[in-house]
Amino acid sequence: AQSVTQLDSHVSVSEGTPVLLRCNYSSSYSPSLFWYVQHPNKGLQLLLKYTSAATLVKGINGFEAEFKKSETSFHLTKPSAHMSDAAEYFCVVSGGGGSQGNLIFGKGTKLSVKP
């Protein structure tokens, strides 16, 4: 069965410092992995996706993530945080097999950015 674990429920950084949001996955298939962001009172927006091509994936707004099979990790990073990055971030794995359309979400990491 597929699952993801987000290792931090809350991360706080200062504006201009690096961001690291950690995610470990478990999958019996070759996984498709995603990061989504949810700003307050808004829907989910896809930040980036990994689908077995390049292991370093670049997304929108300067975010990137690296797929590490040996560590079963898919951590999200950004070199320099901006105030507008404050939001909740979800690591997601697709259901796999006949359940590709079933996205399985982590519990989320709330990112706070201090001025």
Minimum distance from CB of 28 to another protein (Å)? 16
Residues that bind another protein (CB under 8 A): 32, 34, 36, 41-46, 49, 51, 90, 94-95, 98-108
Q: Are 50 and 74 in contact (CB under 8 A)?
A: yes
Residue 89: which residues within 8 A CB-CB, separation 6 or more? Answer: 6, 21, 35, 36, 37, 38, 47, 76, 108, 109, 110, 111
By C-beta, is 81 or 89 nearer to another protein? Answer: 89
By C-beta, is 73 or 106 nearer to another protein? Answer: 106
Minimum distance from CB of 96 to another protein (Å)? 9
By C-beta, is 28 or 42 nearer to another protein? Answer: 42
Which of 15, 18, 20, 26 has the alpha carbon at shortest distance from 106?
A: 26
Minimum distance from CB of 25 to another protein (Å)? 14
